[in-house]
Structure 1
Amino acid sequence: MSLRILLMRFGIAAAGGALLAYAATTPAAGAEQEDPRKSEQIVDGEVVARAGLVLRSAPTRGGSVIRVAHYGEIIKIYCRAEGQSVDGSRQWYLLVDGTWAWGSARYIAPFKAPRWCDA
């Protein structure tokens, strides 16, 4: 197995672990908590893929398909991370749309630069 593939798998596993840790420390439904979509850290962006953008469960083309965002749709970006290259761009955005799906930054035009996921 190449070092590149090993590092990519490690990165995906680390991102998944971080999401699980977040879920484990988040109060139960109905408990007083802040909605992440209302956070100042959320950045709006627009889908610029003419045929629509496939949103995935991981920042790779191999991630499970969650849904398709249509051209011109305004989406909410929680953070950005490095992932599999898509047409020369390795950045992916974690979207807050109720599913926490990943979309390639190559096909999303953010209104301002989102923060890095590990920040």
Structure 2
Amino acid sequence: MTHLSKFRRGAAVLASAGLLCGVLGSGAAVAANPASTPAATAHGPYKGRVVARHELTVRTGPGTNYRAVGSLRHGEVVTLVCKVNGQNVRGNSRWYKLREGRYAWASARYLRPLGAAPGWCGNRHHR
């Protein structure tokens, strides 16, 4: 997977920026519970945590037949852009479009939204 290091580096930068904004934003209460703010629950940004036991492969589209472009580790927090119904993975056909430096897709079977889940994607799956 040739894009692995760029993907992880982007995720780390976004996670660091989110922590910094929470600490310097409107106080410790926001950093401790970002879902309590209206922006986090009504319009995003939506976040999800990787719950796969091993690395979660991210792909160019919502199915395992799409090209793998990287992976995420158990416990990583990512930005969820929107959701679609795609290939069924162990009883779950939902896939999330991720934004971690670039767009990628991951099965919802291995991601848990932190707070509200994002809305449905439009007609286009890729960007």
Scaled to the shorter chain, the TM-score interval is 0.5 to 0.7
Runs of 4+ with deviation above 6 angstroms: none
Match of 1:99 among 98, 102, 106: 102
Matches within 5 A, 1:1-119: 40-111=43-114, 112-118=116-122
Cα distance in 2 between the residues matched to 1:54 and 1:74: 14
Unaligned runs of 5+ in 2: 1-39
**Structure with the higher helix share, 1 or 2:** 2
Structure 1 residue 114: Cα displacement = 1.3
Q: Secondary structure at the match of 1:106?
A: helix
* TM-superposed deviation, 1:41: 3.2
* CA contact 1:41–1:115 (8 Å) conserved in 2: no
Q: Deviations over 1:59-103 (max 9, x none)?
A: 010111111010000000000001000001010000011220000
Distance 1:118 1:42 in 2: 17
CA contact (8 A) 1:42 1:79 kept: no
CA distance in 1, matches of 2:101, 2:67: 16
| Alpha-carbon separation, structure 2, partners of 1:108 and 1:77 | 10
Whole-Å Cα distance in 1 between the matches of residues 71 and 118 of structure 2? 21
- AA aligned opposite 2:85: E
Question: Partner residue of 2:4?
Answer: none
Displacement after TM superposition at 1:42 (Å)? 2.7
Distance across 2 between alignment mates of 1:96 and 1:65: 15
Report the secondary structure of 2:103's partner residue.
Answer: coil
* Root-mean-square deviation (Å): 1.9
Q: Which amino acid aligns with 1:77?
A: L
* Cα separation, 1, equivalents of 2:121 and 2:49: 19
So what's the TM-score if we normalise by structure 1?
A: 0.64
Deviation at 1:118, TM superposition (A): 2.1
Q: Distance in 2 between matches of 1:100 and 1:41?
A: 16
